[in-house]
Structure 1
Amino acid sequence: MAHEIGLGRNVSETPEEPSAAQSYCCYPAELKMAVTNGMSIAGNKFEGFKCNATDAIEFKLVRHEPDIFDDSKVFHPDMTHQLESIFGYKDLKVQIYCSAARMITYVNVAYSAKIDPEQYDGVKADDILGLLSKHLQPGFLTNRDAFISQLTKDKTFKPFGELVHSYTTTREDKQLEFEVYKTDIEAIGFRDFHERIQPFLLFFVDAASYIDVDDDRWDYYLLFEKYREAGTTIYAFAGYMTVYNYYAYPEKIRPRISQVLVMPPFQRQGHGATLIQTFYNSCYNRHDILDITVEDPSENFQRVRDFVDCKNCMRLPSFQPEELHQGFSEKMRLETREKLFINRKQARRIYEILRLRATNMANKEQQRGYRLDIKKRLNSPFQKNGRDFQKLKRALEPTELAATLNNLSVEQRMEYLEKHYEEVITEYRAVIERLATNVD
């Protein structure tokens, strides 16, 4: 799954970690219920020891020693499926700090109180370091002085692989430089570096899992901020993207974007779109590519992908306003496939976004033509016996899903179409708003 930011499901699955309740299987059933629900026979005596992992975990990208003590540098995970809630502590902070360039990891667990098994029926606190050790690279640091001593080595860090793109952005009136590198797992030192950065996927990309790095069909695109300090050029890791090169019969490949991660301090600055476009640019002059696909894209990633594809398609003759009002055409499909390696499904989506952009919704004829065109496509699952069943599953109530697609009433179909149409338009307008301020 792709995303910004993120992106995607991969070839292997991360084993599910036990929850706090599952950890206490050796205790009586009523005690397990007490721990799980924060209730005991005596009352709420366990409630104060339950911690929300999303709030407790604090990340930092550390460039200098003072950053360790600067709370403004903290960012929290978007998701904590691997830990859920943490039991046994009060005022818990799980500090996961990484050196900004080499991503050397330091973990510190701080709290005001820890549950005493002798006073609480033998119930023990979760082993936080033990849980994290299943996801972080082996050998992460737990001594702050040892971590501080590593920071100076970041100044000698050089990115892996080949420089494929460089650009500047403006943030808070400052010019910032960024570089994108392409590498493979065989680059000296990159395997260890990848082990240090991939755990962030679990915290910031929904349903993410680790990839099989021993498969040589993976390409890696790494994003770094480049800056100078005391006359020295220094790099800070900002994000990365993985691409898997599938074989396409008889002699082509079908690259699939699998994961996109932009680190939170660098998000909403256009870097995800730049990573994708940099990859696209490397494909355009190749003759061995059939098309470019994305693995199970998240909603966030799909918006970024749509934005990039729209910008590219707007330059094509077949996507000019006068053509868009005539409907989706074979010319559009061929031009996007041959020039941009966009598959038919995504090409149709881009057509719908750009036609909405070119439609005067105050013009009843244009508005009606657009609405009918979109609803005709949305109605196709009913006509094709459920190829789009998963969309129906998300849109309809469980009681409505009790019937098969063929047995849905006319009223149910109309309700689905109207609801889905409004959702689609909302998604498209978000892309159009971004195009309004970012088109070259």
Structure 2
Amino acid sequence: MAGMTMNSLLKTRLESFRCCANDVIHFKLVRQKSDLEDDSTTFHPDMTHQLFGEQESIFGYKDLVVEMFYSASRLTTYVNMQYFEKISPNKFDGIEPDNVMETIAKEMPPGFVTNKDEFTRLLPKDASFKPYGEMLHSYKISKGNDLRNFEIYHTDLETPGFREYHERLQTFILFFIDGASFIDVDDSRWHFYLLFEKYKVNENPMHAIAGYMTVYNYYAYPEKKRPRVSQVLILPPFQKQGHGAELLQTFYNTCYSRSEIKDITVEDPSENFQRVRDYVDARNCMDLASFQSDKLQLGFSDNMVQDAKNKLKLSKRQTRRIYEILRLKATNVNDKEQYRSYRLDVKKRLNAPFQKNGRDNKKLEKVLQPNELSATMNSWPLEQRHAYLEKAYEEFEEQYKLVIDRLEKYH
């Protein structure tokens, strides 16, 4: 009993040195010296499992704070840590604390500083920063009583200085995009769309990074291209302001007149980005004749596929999804027959024996080949199959309603 009590006490004491990495990492985009002590400019990572394991925990410290500060324009980077107490291996049977700085340093490009005074001395260099590449689009948004200006630029890895800048910028994805990995900077088929807020200091224009998107140009036989949106990140201080839609639409606008582009795809989109994509695609399709309310009620058509492909570069799969969103928007759910017709139309797609939509049967497709999946679904008892279809339908309708709500606010 005494041994068990001692073990319990040791475990309790050890746990007091464990903290959540998501809580103790403090990010800042620093525009001026006063931001360093302003808690309102601090934001935290969405995830840290890519650095600190599935538990997203750091062991060995009490009251730990890890500071990861970036100058808002050049992304000059400062990384350091402070704590109230550090575990002593002499007192805890040789148990060592996690080497936090080493773990982070492995993912950071060379050149970051660990001295805050040095970081502060470097801040004025941001005044001479100019965005990389060509400006494609500018727009304004209102926040409170302020009208804020934003600009979107397109660049590639051949632009002088951009490789080094991108190395610093992409460190954010480890903390905000699940399963993200750094891209191959030796591949010229990568293109970048950078979002900056433009503001003034003493009447001098400044640009602060707000987000970015990467696009890879795949080859499509025989002479076409198929650009794929890979990574999209709007940094937390700028989220839920409509920037993701502006970034995506700006990229779309560069593709519409290019005959060599077959269609535009997206690499494994997160739920949040899928909503942004659906919103932008639905907003664009609403202007096409084949997607007007009277046509939607007649069902999915080849005209829709051709219209969306020729004018908007949408794939057939995404076009079908947009059709379902817009048909639901045009459906009177209080009209039992009209709503029933819509539900049956969606369930008919879900019931197709060979699903190629990885999102429809995501869990099963992780362990089954397509033919096995089809055989499995066909072997289900009728009641089980109906339950699956109903649940899948409800999940889609819930996703679609979020897009429709945003469309209605837009209009």
Q: Same fold (TM over 0.5)?
A: yes
What residue in structure 2 maps to residue 3 of structure 1? none
How far the C-alpha of 1:139 sits from its partner, in A, is: 2.3
1:244–1:43 Cα change, 3 Å: closer
Distance 1:194 1:389 in 2: 31
Task: Please list, as runs of the form range in 1=range in 2, the aligned pairs for 1:42-61 lying within 5 A after superposition.
Answer: 42-61=10-29
How far the C-alpha of 1:409 sits from its partner, in A, is: 1.4
1:349-373 deviations in whole A, cap 9, x for unaligned? 0000000000000011111110110
Q: Does 1:126 align with 2:98?
A: yes
What residue in structure 1 maps to residue 173 of structure 2? 201
Percent identical pairs in the alignment equals 56
Distance 1:203 1:150 in 2: 25
What residue in structure 2 maps to residue 340 of structure 1? 312
How far the C-alpha of 1:44 sits from its partner, in A, is: 1.6
How far the C-alpha of 1:50 sits from its partner, in A, is: 0.6
Q: How many residues align?
A: 395
1:42–1:107 Cα change, 3 Å: closer
1:173–1:395 Cα change, 3 Å: farther
What residue in structure 2 maps to residue 5 of structure 1? none
1:388–1:168 Cα change, 3 Å: closer
Distance 1:127 1:430 in 2: 43
2:240 alignment partner, one of 265, 268, 285: 268
Distance 2:185 2:256 in 1: 26
What residue in structure 2 maps to residue 72 of structure 1? 40
How far the C-alpha of 1:392 sits from its partner, in A, is: 3.5
Please say if residues 62 and 97 of structure 1, whose CA atoms lie closer than 8 Å, have aligned partners that are also in contact: yes
Please say if residues 395 and 416 of structure 1, whose CA atoms lie closer than 8 Å, have aligned partners that are also in contact: no
What residue in structure 1 maps to residue 161 of structure 2? 189
What residue in structure 2 maps to residue 285 of structure 1? 257
How far the C-alpha of 1:188 sits from its partner, in A, is: 1.1
Structure 2, unaligned stretches of length 5 or more?
368-372
Structure 1, unaligned stretches of length 5 or more?
1-33
Structure 2 counterpart of 1:254, which letter? R
Instruction: Look up the SS of the partner of 1:46 in the other structure.
Output: helix
Task: Please list, as runs of the form range in 1=range in 2, the aligned pairs for 1:419-430 lying within 5 A after superposition.
Answer: 419-430=391-402
1:54–1:316 Cα change, 3 Å: same
Q: Does 1:171 align with 2:143?
A: yes
How far the C-alpha of 1:387 sits from its partner, in A, is: 4.3
Structure 1 counterpart of 2:233, which letter? L
What residue in structure 2 maps to residue 218 of structure 1? 190
Distance 1:222 1:393 in 2: 32
1:389–1:147 Cα change, 3 Å: closer
1:305–1:48 Cα change, 3 Å: same
Q: CA RMSD, aligned part only?
A: 1.8
How far the C-alpha of 1:394 sits from its partner, in A, is: 3.4
Please say if residues 350 and 360 of structure 2, whose CA atoms lie closer than 8 Å, have aligned partners that are also in contact: no
What residue in structure 2 maps to residue 29 of structure 1? none
1:389–1:299 Cα change, 3 Å: closer
Distance 1:52 1:41 in 2: 21
Instruction: Look up the SS of the partner of 2:318 in the other structure.
Output: helix
Please say if residues 254 and 289 of structure 1, whose CA atoms lie closer than 8 Å, have aligned partners that are also in contact: yes
What residue in structure 2 maps to residue 24 of structure 1? none
How far the C-alpha of 1:138 sits from its partner, in A, is: 1.8
1:195–1:335 Cα change, 3 Å: same
TM score, norm. by length of structure 2: 0.93
> Which structure ranks higher in relative contact order (CA pairs < 8 Å, sequence separation ≥ 6)?
1
How far the C-alpha of 1:390 sits from its partner, in A, is: 6.3
How far the C-alpha of 1:391 sits from its partner, in A, is: 3.6
How far the C-alpha of 1:303 sits from its partner, in A, is: 0.2
Task: Please list, as runs of the form range in 1=range in 2, the aligned pairs for 1:11-90 lying within 5 A after superposition.
Answer: 42-81=10-49, 82-83=51-52, 84-90=56-62
Please say if residues 210 and 238 of structure 2, whose CA atoms lie closer than 8 Å, have aligned partners that are also in contact: yes
1:247 alignment partner, one of 197, 219, 240: 219
Distance 1:220 1:44 in 2: 49
